[in-house]
Amino acid sequence: MSLPSSVRLVEVGPRDGLQNEKQPISVSDKVRLVNDLSAAGLRYVEVGSFVSPKWVPQMAGSAEVFAGIQRSPGVTYAALTPNLKGFEAALEAKVEEVAVFAAASEAFSQKNINCSIAESLQRFIPLMEAARAANVRVRGYVSCVLGCPYDGEIAPAQVAAVARELYAMGCYEVSLGDTIGTGTAGKTRQLIETVAREVPHHLLAGHFHDTYGQALANIYASLLEGISVFDSSVAGLGGCPYAKGATGNVATEDVLYMLQGLGIDTGIDLDRLIDAGARICEVLGKANGSRVARARLASR
């Protein structure tokens, strides 16, 4: 398959990137990050989550963040919602699009959302109905697609079965999450081949955490399999509170640099993106997780 001429990057830094941070981050710093990202040309930003504050305290202020951001035309501002309660709160905060999240592994489903995979899918049905009535699009995530921190290896057919359910209930796109970043390029290709028998290629996205340093290779492998939507996190921020040791998503700057090298259009300005990443790293007092950003910042 030939490479796509353009790719859509889904920026998950304000959500996946920050959800695991232990230190308090002010609403205004979160707002600034979201605004910086849209100004850099990102057309889709996952701003926060409407989940239980007992489970993920850092996302508790998501409604305030939504109230504070400057909404640029053409940008989708989205949030995670695990159930109807979360969806209703998201709607109140004028979220334009939501995402539900299931897992391909039973153990991870229990640890992350306190129910089985089947129960989680059941829980999404009233949410999907409410979203349809409110004209809100719903994206679906499947976690642990290339390995689980508790169950180990995950069969591609298991991922395909969950992806098929999300697609059948009305998710317009299904993002395949390598939550713990153990996937390799070969396994990624096999996975996509299997899942694409249930959900068409053009409705799949890749969500690679970079724990083992394989994310860019996995994205390239996905491009070869016809995938053209990828989730990434500015400065490589993040991790999942329920996947110990998992690092952040692949850095948006690094993905962008690779795509630019392949002549693939994204509409994003690399320099402005690097500035956005540098600023939030300064706020967090953290080293920048993007190799491209580190190199460029050092040579400025």
Residues binding Mg ion (CB under 5 A): 16
Contact 82, 113 (CB under 8 A): yes
Question: In the complex with Mg ion, which residue's Cβ is closer, 11 or 16?
Answer: 16
Contacting residue, 207, 219, 251, 258, with ligand HMG by CB under 6 A: 207
Which two structure tokens, joined as six digits, stand for 124? 């999404």
Please name which of 180, 252, 288, 176 lies closest in space to residue 221, comparing C-alpha atoms. Answer: 176
Question: SS in 3 state form for 77-108?
Answer: EEEECCCHHHHHHHHHCCCCEEEEEEECCHHH
Q: Does 38 bind ligand HMG (CB under 6 A)?
A: no
Question: In the complex with Mg ion, which residue's Cβ is closer, 143 or 228?
Answer: 143
Q: Does 52 bind ligand HMG (CB under 6 A)?
A: yes
Contacting residue, 44, 101, 124, 167, with ligand HMG by CB under 6 A: 101
Question: In the complex with Mg ion, which residue's Cβ is closer, 39 or 217?
Answer: 217
In eight-state DSSP terms, residue 209 is B
Residue 49: name its binding partner from Mg ion, ligand HMG, none (Cβ under 5 to 8 Å by kind): ligand HMG
Q: Does 62 bind ligand HMG (CB under 6 A)?
A: no
Stretch that binds ligand HMG, among 32-40, 76-84, 163-171, 186-194 (CB under 6 A): 76-84
Cα of 110 vs its chain's centroid, Å: 20
Q: Does 66 bind ligand HMG (CB under 6 A)?
A: no
Cα of 14 vs its chain's centroid, Å: 10
Contact 37, 275 (CB under 8 A): no
Q: Does 218 bind ligand HMG (CB under 6 A)?
A: no
Q: Which residue has the tokens 């996905």?
A: 222
Q: From the CB of 160, what's the least distance to ligand HMG, in Å?
A: 16
Q: Does 143 bind ligand HMG (CB under 6 A)?
A: yes
Contact 212, 243 (CB under 8 A): no
> H or E segment at 186?
helix 185-195
* Residue 23 CB burial class (10 angstroms; 0-12, 13-18, ≥19): exposed
Helices (H), 199-290: 215-224, 252-261, 270-284
Q: Does 30 bind ligand HMG (CB under 6 A)?
A: no
- To the query of whether residue 240 is one of the catalytic residues in this protein, the response is yes
CA distance 149 to 157: 18
Q: Does 113 bind ligand HMG (CB under 6 A)?
A: yes
Stretch that binds ligand HMG, among 46-54, 67-75, 161-169, 255-263 (CB under 6 A): 46-54
Q: From the CB of 34, what's the least distance to ligand HMG, in Å?
A: 17
Active site amino acids: 240
Q: Give the binding site for ligand HMG (CB under 6 A).
A: 16, 19, 49-52, 55-56, 80, 82-83, 85-86, 89, 101, 112-114, 141, 143, 177, 179, 207, 209, 240, 242
